[in-house]
């Protein structure tokens, strides 16, 4: 499913109406009926309905809704801003007026005690902050027992998710043809409520070629496993990181890689981390890094890894950071660069970016917003509204795959593909969740997935395991070790048993 901004949606509307000749009033009728169907499914016709109608086409949708609900026996009251400014909306206004539906100026809504409120004030084209009467109306409407937005809650920027002064707090949003970016970018996502996407007849022929896509169907692809498989045929993951006080991070990544099917997993770390791992995780092999990193680099350069994870818990000592950068330049296998492997100060940014540009082998970067800020200079405050475009631009610039972690993770390929994972889960809001993700992705790489496939499927697997953990432990009591314990359930559920029958 594609995510569109306001300009893209408007262009598709125009193409459908002006190029294909489909009447705009027909699209408006279809939009209004889509909302009516949702109301019919949820409320009987004794429910009082208050509809706020603006002067544009979003208000026209509201008039269509009012007409059909009135004819079905609902007690409907329309609050409007005067005569509509578009011909299609004006025609529907006249039809509602002719039926004798109760109609009042918008300000009269402030004197009511609404039950079900339908917001058809502004729609996807709004770009200015709302204030005065409009702000009062939305504040009042947001107090109703049940609230429905037509296309997008008024006050939410459909392109960025930013709040334009004040916004309608919907329980349900029915959007037309395609979801909008503002439905899934914060803080707009928190105002959307349940989202229903309704087809209304807009042609897909003018769909933008690089529109981001939404992942809301979490059915991951699992690596093929032959019945003849052995440890040497299932990939070897080398995990480089871990330091005093942060040995757990590389342990989590390595353990996740093993749980996701890697045949061999080795941790390369300092003596203290290696000793603790050899006791606590006997399945994981270890390589102790000497004090002099030049020798360590030579050994790791020759290490027979199918994929490498660099950075979890590695620490930010200058010697470690230089070591990671040398390893980036020398290693020929695919690399997942995470956590401290991504760290750089502003003065070092150009050098680090230069190293990433020079890498010839596949690379996946897995930053959280602060790490992305250090790497690119884009502040965390300004990132969310533009992250879909920013992550694409930097993935193309660095010729790599970027997984920008967050409430809704963004994944971009070097070829311009962008996906947004719609799987918010507060149970994952604990240190170590990202280390587990790095381990999952590294394991998929070692088992033969290409970098974009590994990133996408790894994020799905991580999200599904997080969902199971949330269901079992709630939002507060989960953690990365419990998350790892649920990975096997995902692999068991989504492995195609025909693999084995066909051997």
For residue 179, the SS3 value is: coil
- Cα–Cα distance between 356 and 298 in angstroms, integer? 20
44 is in an annotated binding site: no
Rounded to 10 deg, the angle between the 247-259 and 271-280 helix axes is 40
123 is in an annotated binding site: yes
409 is in an annotated binding site: yes
State residue 179 phi and psi, 5-degree precision. -65, 155
341 is in an annotated binding site: no
151 is in an annotated binding site: yes
434 is in an annotated binding site: yes
Contact 208, 181 (CB under 8 A): no
314 is in an annotated binding site: no
154 is in an annotated binding site: yes
389 is in an annotated binding site: no
* Longest distance between any two alpha carbons in the chain, whole Å: 87
392 is in an annotated binding site: no
Strands 410-412 and 401-404, bridge-based pairing? antiparallel
306 is in an annotated binding site: no
Torsion sign (Cα): 375, 379, 383, 389:
negative
235 is in an annotated binding site: no
313 is in an annotated binding site: yes
58 is in an annotated binding site: yes
- Cα–Cα distance between 57 and 26 in angstroms, integer? 12
479 is in an annotated binding site: no
Strands 194-198 and 410-412, bridge-based pairing? unpaired
498 is in an annotated binding site: no
435 is in an annotated binding site: yes
**Sheet containing 335-338: order of strands:** 213-215, 418-421, 410-412, 401-404, 363-366, 335-338, 307-310, 236-240, 264-269, 285-288
The full DSSP string for 341-378 is: GG---GGGHHHHHHHHHH--S-EEEE--HHHHHHHH--
Binding residue ranges: 57-61, 119, 123-129, 151, 154, 249, 313, 368, 405-409, 434-435
Binding residue ranges for K(+): 58, 119, 154
Binding residue ranges for AMP: 405-409, 434
Binding residue ranges for (6S)-NADPHX: 57-61, 123-129, 151, 249, 313, 368, 435
């Amino acid at each position: 499913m594609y995510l569109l901004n306001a300009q893209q949606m408007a262009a598709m509307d125009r193409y459908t109406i002006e190029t294909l000749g489909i009447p705009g009033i027909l699209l408006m009728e279809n939009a209004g009926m889509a909302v009516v169907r949702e109301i019919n499914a949820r409320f009987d016709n004794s429910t009082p309905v208050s509809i706020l109608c603006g002067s544009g086409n979003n208000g026209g949708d509201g008039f269509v809704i009012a007409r059909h609900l009135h004819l079905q026996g609902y007690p409907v009251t329309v609050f409007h801003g005067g005569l509509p400014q578009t011909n299609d909306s004006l025609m529907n206004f006249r039809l509602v007026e002719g039926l004798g539906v109760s109609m009042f100026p918008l300000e009269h809504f402030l004197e009511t005690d609404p039950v079900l409120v339908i917001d058809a004030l502004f729609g996807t084209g709004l770009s200015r902050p709302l204030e005065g009467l409009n702000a009062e109306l939305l504040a009042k409407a947001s107090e109703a027992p049940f609230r429905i937005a037509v296309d997008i809650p008024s006050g939410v920027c459909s392109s960025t998710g930013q709040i334009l002064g004040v916004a309608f707090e919907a329980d349900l949003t029915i959007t037309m043809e395609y979801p909008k970016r503002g439905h899934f970018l914060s803080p707009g996502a928190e105002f959307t409520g349940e989202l229903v996407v309704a087809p209304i007849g807009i042609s897909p022929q003018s769909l933008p070629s690089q529109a981001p896509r939404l992942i809301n169907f979490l059915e991951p692809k699992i690596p093929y496993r032959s019945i003849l498989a052995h440890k040497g045929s299932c990939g070897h993951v080398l995990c480089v990181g871990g330091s005093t006080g942060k040995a757990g991070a590389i342990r989590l990544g390595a353990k996740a890689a093993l749980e996701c099917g890697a045949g061999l997993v080795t941790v390369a770390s300092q003596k203290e981390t290696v000793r603790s791992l050899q006791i606590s995780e006997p399945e994981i092999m270890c390589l102790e890094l000497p004090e002099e990193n030049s020798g360590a680099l030579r050994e790791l350069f020759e290490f027979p890894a199918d994929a490498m994870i660099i950075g979890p818990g590695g620490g930010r000592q200058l010697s470690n950071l230089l070591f990671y950068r040398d390893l980036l330049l020398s290693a020929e296998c695919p690399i997942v660069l995470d956590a401290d492997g991504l760290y750089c100060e502003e003065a070092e940014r150009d050098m680090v970016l230069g190293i990433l540009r020079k890498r010839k082998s596949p690379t996946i970067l897995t930053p959280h917003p602060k790490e992305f800020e250090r790497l690119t200079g884009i502040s965390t405050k300004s990132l969310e509204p533009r992250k879909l475009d920013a992550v694409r631009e930097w993935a193309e610039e660095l010729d790599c795959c970027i997984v920008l972690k967050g409430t809704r993770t963004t994944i971009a390929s070097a070829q311009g593909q962008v996906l947004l994972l719609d799987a918010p889960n507060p149970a994952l809001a604990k240190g170590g969740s990202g280390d587990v993700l790095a381990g999952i992705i590294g394991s998929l790489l070692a088992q033969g997935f290409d970098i974009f496939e590994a990133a996408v499927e790894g994020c799905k697997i991580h999200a599904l395991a997080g969902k199971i953990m949330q269901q079992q432990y709630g939002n507060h009591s989960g953690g990365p070790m419990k998350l790892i314990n649920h990975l096997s359930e995902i692999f068991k559920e989504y492995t195609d048993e025909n693999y084995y029958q066909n051997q």
